[in-house]
Amino acid sequence: MHKIPTLFRRDPENRKRVLPEANPECQWVLDGQGTPTRKYDGTCVLLDEDGTWWARREVRPGRTRPPGYRPVVTDEATGKTQGWEPIAQSSYASCHAEALAAAPPQLPPGTYELIGPKINGNPESATTHELVAHADADRLDVPRDLAGLRDWLLAHPQYEGIVWHHADGRRAKLKYRDFA
């Protein structure tokens, strides 16, 4: 699990906004490569190959890592570590249990977005807690230029953003709030 890079460079004066310059890591998107999918606004969870559920967790520098925490990557600029903690000790444990009870049996290993009434203020307007497989995210037909993407995202405020998936595993993202 690595943080997905943003398609355009961030404005150093206002890191919440993007500049009209491609992030070199993501040029492949502007070159027409990758599949654009809907970015859901929830919290990421992982079902590993052993059938164990994990919750995404960020640990800031100087903070104690929770028991059983599996660090994945540390951002050199911020010192924040991204990783996984056992879902049972996550603050989302009860929401996950509700979503899992309603999910089909034998979910495949992979990452999922946990959405619902008690997740991030429920921007997805879900009536119950649900698991959305990232592999099954809605495919989108979107432009591939800054102006077109800005217009498309501003016209679709119900979406948190877009994630592009390259066949080789690379990903890139762009969020509604990068423009709003």
> In the chain, where are the structural domains located?
1-37+138-180, 41-136
Q: What is the pLDDT of residue 78?
A: 84
Contact at 8 Å (CB) between 64 and 36? Answer: no
Q: Is the pLDDT of residue 1 over 70?
A: no
In this prediction the pTM is: 0.85
CA angle (42, 106, 66) in 5-degree steps:
50
Cα 72 from Cα 95, distance rounded (Å): 24
**pLDDT tens digits along 56-107:** 999 999 999 999 999 999 988 789 999 999 999 999 999 999 999 999 989 9
The two tokens of residue 19 are 């500049």
**pLDDT tens digits along 118-152:** 999 999 999 999 999 998 899 999 999 999 999 99
Q: What is the pLDDT of residue 180?
A: 63
* Averaged pLDDT of the chain: 93
Whole-number Cα distances in Å, 38 to 50, 68, 97? 28, 31, 24
The two tokens of residue 62 are 């100087």
User: For residue 43, what are the β-bridge partners?
Assistant: 114
Q: What is the pLDDT of residue 14?
A: 87
Cα 152 from Cα 131, distance rounded (Å): 26
For 97, phi then psi, to 5°, come to -60, -40
DSSP H/E element including 104: none
